[in-house]
Amino acid sequence: GSIRPDAESEAELAFEGALRPKSLAEFVGQRKVRGQLQLLLQAASMQNRTPDHILLAGPPGLGKTTLAMIVAHESGRPLRMTSGPAIQHAGDLAAVLSALVPGEILFVDEIHRMARSAEEMLYLAMEDFRIDIMVGKGAGATSIPLDLAPFTLVGATTRAGLLPNPLRDRFGFTAHLEFYETAELEQVLDRAAALLDLEVDSSALSMIAGRSRGTPRIANRLLRRVRDYALVHRTSAGLEAVDAALELYDVDGLGLDRLDRAVMQCILTRFDGGPVGLNTLAVSVGEEAETIESVVEPFLVRTGLLTRTPRGRVATPSGWEHFGLARREASVP
């Protein structure tokens, strides 16, 4: 019963696919990134060459995969998709790269999780459309150069900082995706409701939008839960259904989910508001440091509940307030 982006069931994926915008014009928000991509694609098309490699950085569910598909669609090129965790050895990458057709867009999701040896192979591939394949072992090992078809790499990562510099530097353009404003999420939801043929009050849509963690994927999923609720309880998809569904799925008034709250509560109650280091925090809530850092924290920071300082994470006055707690310092005269 989680609405977190990592809970991927087949039905959820099919649902997401159906709602994916197919063009830059349909893609809501991220105005800056859209303009930048538009220019990059247009210039490449005028010069009849493959577009520069593109890195898309930002928390899950903000539209990285969707943008990769749009890049392929808008430039009229085929798309091949893989992910960092699927590339465990340089050989895995060699197989993918050597199978590319000229001009293909290669999307590598979670590119920061690719094997080191593959990363090194990728440098050369990105720069010169060439790789060296090692054959044999020890003294008899030789490397065989292999020319590749020109391609455009579109990499996605939750944080650009997770990539080694040499890899990051080989992207012609890095797009930093931001959390969406509530008004933008309303547009996302409006579009989704129309596509799914759902009748939902506009006040209900606004409420979902305001509690979706600034994330289109979460907004769309909440919409579906509200639809379920209205269906099962034979009510209209209005404010009451939204309220009930949000409560059922543990989404609070600011849109924080269970893990967001666990992190805040840990900082507030166990560490007296901080500062607390990332790794200590991760161990305390039983979650990977990378998840805390690139999924949980960005939203807590943007909501103004948490700040990052050189000494660690610190809860802000709004952070204390949201959890109905008084700072200990404040109660000491």
Where does this chain touch ligand ADP (CB under 6 A) — which range of 58-66, 238-246, 265-273, 325-333? Answer: 58-66
Identify which of residues 17 and 145 has a Cβ nearer to ligand ADP in the complex.
Answer: 17
Least distance between ligand ADP and beta carbon 8 (Å): 10
From the list 323, 67, 19, the residue with the least C-alpha distance to 177 is 67
* By CB under 6 A, residue 64 contacts ligand ADP: yes
Determine the Cα–Cα distance for residues 293 and 278; give it in Å rounded to an integer. 7
Burial grade of 23 (CB within 10 A; 0-12, 13-18, 19 or more):
exposed
252 classed as catalytic: no
**Quick one: which of 3, 72, 188, 259 contacts ligand ADP (CB under 6 A)?**
188
65 classed as catalytic: yes
Determine the Cα–Cα distance for residues 30 and 229; give it in Å rounded to an integer. 31
* By CB under 6 A, residue 221 contacts ligand ADP: no
Q: Which residue, chain included where needed, has tokens 């440098």?
A: 123
Burial 102-137 (b: 16+ CB within 10 A, else e): ebbbbbbbbbbbbbebbbbbbeebbeebebbeeeee
Determine the Cα–Cα distance for residues 10 and 3; give it in Å rounded to an integer. 14
316 classed as catalytic: no
Beta strand 173-176 with 79-83: parallel, antiparallel or unpaired? unpaired
Output the six-digit token pair for 133: 């394949």
Q: Which of 65, 157, 174, 215 is catalytic?
A: 65
Identify which of residues 188 and 267 has a Cβ nearer to ligand ADP in the complex.
Answer: 188
**Quick one: which of 3, 4, 16, 227 contacts ligand ADP (CB under 6 A)?**
16
Residue span 146-185 as binding mask against ligand ADP, x where in contact by CB under 6 A, dash where not: ----------x-----------------------------
Please give the positions annotated as active site.
Answer: 64-65, 109, 158, 217
Q: Which residues bind ligand ADP (CB under 6 A)?
A: 16, 19-21, 27-30, 60-66, 156, 188, 216-217, 220
